[in-house]
């Protein structure tokens, strides 16, 4: 069983509504990443349209263009790719994270469950209903999109589902950058797993994005990160030995199961009111 994986995150300044440009940049990043041994490469949320939600109305989006190109990029570079894209449904859109394997097959489509109403995502997208995970080199990986990060229940679901890694594809704003950094560490520490988080930089209609794409280990250590302005790639070899070491030292999982048992037992028991 393989217990190591070379992971990389792309941090890019996506061009609003310019799918062709953003896909061209994606290929350039992948061509660079393959040279450092990357086995899975992660891109930001809705990077195809640069998180420009108005593009959903202005453009006649053919999702197959982005899907087919990213599948080809994955196959050409013999790597997995996880990327936030626009998915067109019947009379609706989804904010979707696609995962392509190293032969260009789509192995996962995760539709964002927690849409961010502050950015009016609810006006454009239909929310997803199912968490999703996939396996690469016998390592199970869960996925989130941006605002999902604020919901620890989803991270806990992935832990209980046997995941050792969570990928997060984001367009997180600079004004809440400390939330981003804190929440990434929290999800890693509380679930004792790796966080691989890709965020974009640049701005859109006055909204600046936070960057700070990061790879964080199960102890909460930031292994690699970028600043909040630069484009680039971060890369790290993650080891399941570190996961096992952390989980053995502080056996949170077993204690969590005991706590859940107590809580569920208390829910089943009728509360007795004692009157003096």
Rounded to 5 degrees, what angle do the CA atoms 163, 143, 52 make? 170
CB distance 61 to 55 below 8 Å: yes
Report CA 22 to chain centroid distance, whole Å.
19
Of the residues 146, 163, 236, 242, which is catalytic? Answer: 146
Active site includes 112?
yes
Q: What phi-psi label fits residue 51: left (phi over 0), alpha (psi between -120 and 50 degrees) or beta?
A: left
Which uninterrupted H or E stretch holds 198?
strand 194-199
Of the residues 14, 15, 87, 112, which is catalytic? Answer: 112
CB neighbours (10 Å) of residue 265?
Answer: 9
Active site includes 146?
yes
Per-residue tokens: 46: 């809705």
Of the residues 39, 45, 63, 121, which is catalytic? Answer: 45
Active site includes 45?
yes
Give the number of residues written for the chain. 276
Residue 194 bridge partners (DSSP): 165
**Known catalytic residues?**
45, 112, 146
């Amino acid at each position: 069983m393989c217990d190591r994986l070379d992971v990389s995150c792309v941090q890019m300044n996506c061009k609003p509504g310019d799918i062709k440009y953003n896909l061209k940049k994606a290929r350039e990043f992948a061509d660079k990443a393959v040279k450092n041994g990357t086995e899975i490469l992660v891109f930001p949320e809705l990077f195809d349209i640069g998180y420009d939600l108005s593009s959903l109305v202005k453009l006649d989006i053919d999702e197959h263009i982005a899907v087919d190109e990213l599948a080809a990029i994955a196959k050409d570079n013999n790597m997995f790719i996880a990327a936030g894209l626009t998915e067109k449904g019947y009379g609706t859109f989804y904010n979707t994270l696609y995962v392509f394997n190293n032969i260009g097959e789509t192995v996962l489509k995760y539709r964002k469950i927690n849409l961010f109403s502050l950015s009016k995502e609810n006006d454009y997208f239909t929310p997803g209903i199912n968490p999703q995970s996939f396996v690469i080199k016998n390592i199970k990986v869960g996925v989130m999109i941006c605002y999902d990060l604020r919901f620890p229940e989803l991270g806990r679901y992935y832990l209980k589902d046997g995941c050792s890694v969570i990928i997060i594809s984001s367009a997180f704003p600079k004004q809440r950058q400390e939330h981003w950094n804190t929440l990434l560490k929290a999800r890693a520490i509380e679930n004792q797993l790796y966080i691989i988080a890709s965020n974009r930089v640049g701005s859109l209609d006055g909204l600046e994005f936070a960057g700070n794409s990061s790879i964080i280990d199960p102890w909460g250590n930031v292994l690699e990160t970028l600043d909040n302005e630069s484009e680039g790639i971060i890369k790290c070899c993650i080891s399941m030995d570190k996961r096992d070491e952390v989980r053995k030292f502080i056996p949170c999982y077993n204690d969590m199961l005991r706590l859940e048992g107590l809580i569920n037992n208390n829910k089943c028991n009728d509360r007795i009111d004692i009157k003096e």
